Amino acid sequence: MGLIVQKFGGSSVADAEGLKRVASRIVATKKAGHQVAVVVSAMGDTTDELLDLAEQVTPMPNGRELDMLLTAGERISMALLAMAIGNLGHEARSFTGSQAGVLTTSTHGKARIIDVKPGRIVEALNDGAIAIVAGFQGINQDTNDVTTLGRGGSDTTAVALAAALEADVCEIYTDVDGVYTADPRIVPSARKLDSITYEEMLELAASGAKVLHLRCVEYARRFDLPIHVRSSFSNNEGTWVVKDHPGGASGDNMEQAIIAGVAHDKTEAKITIVGVPDRTGVAARIFQTIADADINIDMIVQNVSAAATGLTDISFTLPKSDGAEATRILKDIQGEIGFHSIQYDDQIGKLSLVGAGMRSHPGVTATFFACLADAGLNIEMISTSEIRISVIVREGDLEKGVKAAHTAFDLDVDDEAVVHGGTGR
Ligand code: ADP
Ligand code: ASP
Ligand code: MG
């Protein structure tokens, strides 16, 4: 007998039928002799619909109230799921994030989990019940307010709970059969990976492959907790996210490919600060101001300053959702720093190539850039890590770029990937 944490995403519980299907699946695991704790997301596109509603009443919703609103989505599905399991003759108890002991920082909309104190979950499991936890939410102990973990955050709830319960595995059930070499909604010829390392999955998640929330992978790596990403619509074996590929570095399998996958991200925008005085401390002042507002930046490019003017341009990318705030706070320090203007561009897309094999294979960058050139794409910014190359292109060119890179690195397979549900929103 083991302890299994299962997480079901929104598309798996999109309607009453979905909830019933998921309930049977959970009961089957329980009947197989395991203790089961479940994390559930809001039904279908509920979170997006709630966000749309908030925008209709105000262009700038208050963070605390927005979190109050959004956490309601997961609360609906957890209660319905517990009822559906009850209807199958098994006891299930639902818990909000706060009741489940998910303690977070206080930043609304992107709180981080500090600790999980799952006393009530353990009690429920010891009583032989199935515990259902609302994903994506927690509570801050200083403010006593509910928080949310950022879009896709239920994955992180699941892994954090699994770590706190010392579960044997965390199963993430979604609307595709596992982690693919590219988003199967864009590249139907993408190949399902049998396994992927934490290291590669971290880079893919950070580069926009939303199949797993970035922080859930960080958590899993820290606790060396295996994640099994699979579909709730089929019984197929999915993708194991683990420390090393089975067989290790000497293993003679396809997983040793140079490239693990191609990721894309349409959620970033670019800010260019034009005519910045090229003086010591100016960049520090600019980025400290952004950091103080709790805004994460991604790529940065600073041009060489023109000798005649002593002025330079600094561009950086950040989440679109932070664009208005960043522009506002930069305007506040415009007089002090003395730059000319701010340009905001939200029509960009980020395209990334990820693979541990890059370390030992020269020429990956050359092949990548050549395939983008052949596809007629202009590269606007570049950033790299040891196992990743990312470029910024026009948003409208992004999908073309993903397909071109996927083909250039021989990742296409003949079988078409199945997307079981969801709207891709
Ligand atoms: P859930 O609601 O179950 O959390 P998400 O929509 O958050 O599901 O994540 C699953 C989606 O992630 C898939 O439907 C797919 O479109 C997208 N995706 C992006 N990149 C990948 C990838 N490399 N492999 C699999 N799915 C991916
Ligand atoms: N319901 C939240 C979202 O749509 C959290 C999640 O599904 O993981 O982002
Ligand atoms: Mg998700």
Q: pLDDT of 335-353, one tens digit each?
A: 999 999 999 999 999 999 9
Residue 15 counted as domain residue: yes
Q: State how many domains the chain has.
A: 1
Residue 9 CA: which ligand is closest?
1
- In total, the chain counts a number of residues equal to 425
- Choose the residue to mutate in 6, 39, 45, 47 for probing ligand 2, maximizing ligand atoms within 8 Å of C-beta: 47
Selection from 276, 331, 338 nearest residue 304 by Cα: 276
Q: Of all atoms in ligand 2, which is nearest to the CA of residue 157?
A: 8
Q: Of all atoms in ligand 2, which is nearest to the CA of residue 74?
A: 1
Report the pLDDT value the prediction gives residue 330, as an integer from 0 to 100. 97
Does the model's pTM come out above 0.75? yes
Burial of 57 from C-beta contacts in 10 A (0-12 / 13-18 / 19+): exposed
Q: Which residues of the chain have pLDDT under 70?
A: 247-256
Residue 131 counted as domain residue: yes
Pocket of ligand 1 from Cβ distances under 6 Å: 9-11, 41, 152, 174-176, 179-180, 182-185, 209-211, 261, 419, 422, 424
In sequence order, what are the residues at sequence separation of 6 or more whose Cβ sits closer than 8 angstroms to the Cβ of residue 166?
3
Closest CA to ligand 1's atom 9: 211
* Domain of residue 99, CATH code: 3.40.1160.10
Q: pLDDT of 61-90, one tens digit each?
A: 999 999 999 999 999 999 999 999 999 999
Q: Of all atoms in ligand 1, which is nearest to the CA of residue 175?
A: 14
Residue 68 counted as domain residue: yes
Measured from the CB, is residue 153 less than 6 Å from ligand 2?
A: yes
Report the pLDDT value the prediction gives residue 65, as an integer from 0 to 100. 98
Report the pLDDT value the prediction gives residue 420, as an integer from 0 to 100. 86
In sequence order, what are the residues at sequence separation of 6 or more whose Cβ sits closer than 8 angstroms to the Cβ of residue 93?
82, 124, 129, 130, 131, 132
- Strands 113-116 and 146-148, how do they pair? unpaired
Residue 41 counted as domain residue: yes
Report the pLDDT value the prediction gives residue 252, as an integer from 0 to 100. 47
Residue 392 counted as domain residue: no
- Choose the residue to mutate in 151, 174, 241, 419 for probing ligand 1, maximizing ligand atoms within 8 Å of C-beta: 174
| Range(s) of the domain holding residue 148 | 3-175
Q: How far is 129 from 37, CA to CA, in rounded Å?
A: 9
How far apart are the CA of 216 and the centre of ligand 3, in A? 11
Residue 400 counted as domain residue: no
Residue 124 counted as domain residue: yes
How far apart are the CA of 9 and the centre of ligand 3, in A? 6
φ and ψ at 52, to 5 degrees?
A: -60, -45
Q: Within 13 Å and on the Cβ side, how many CA atoms surround 211? A: 37
**CA torsion sign, 29 to 31 to 36 to 39?**
positive
Apex CA 247: angle with CA 246 and CA 249, to 5°? 105
What's 192's DSSP letter?
A: B
Element (H, E) at 155: helix 154-164
Measured from the CB, is residue 41 less than 6 Å from ligand 2?
A: yes
Residue 264 counted as domain residue: no
Q: Of all atoms in ligand 2, which is nearest to the CA of residue 45?
A: 4
Q: How far is 13 from 151, CA to CA, in rounded Å?
A: 17
Q: How far apart are the first and last CA of the chain?
A: 38
Measured from the CB, is residue 151 less than 6 Å from ligand 2?
A: yes
How far apart are the CA of 68 and the centre of ligand 2, in A? 14
What's 243's DSSP letter?
A: S
Residue 10 CA: which ligand is closest?
1
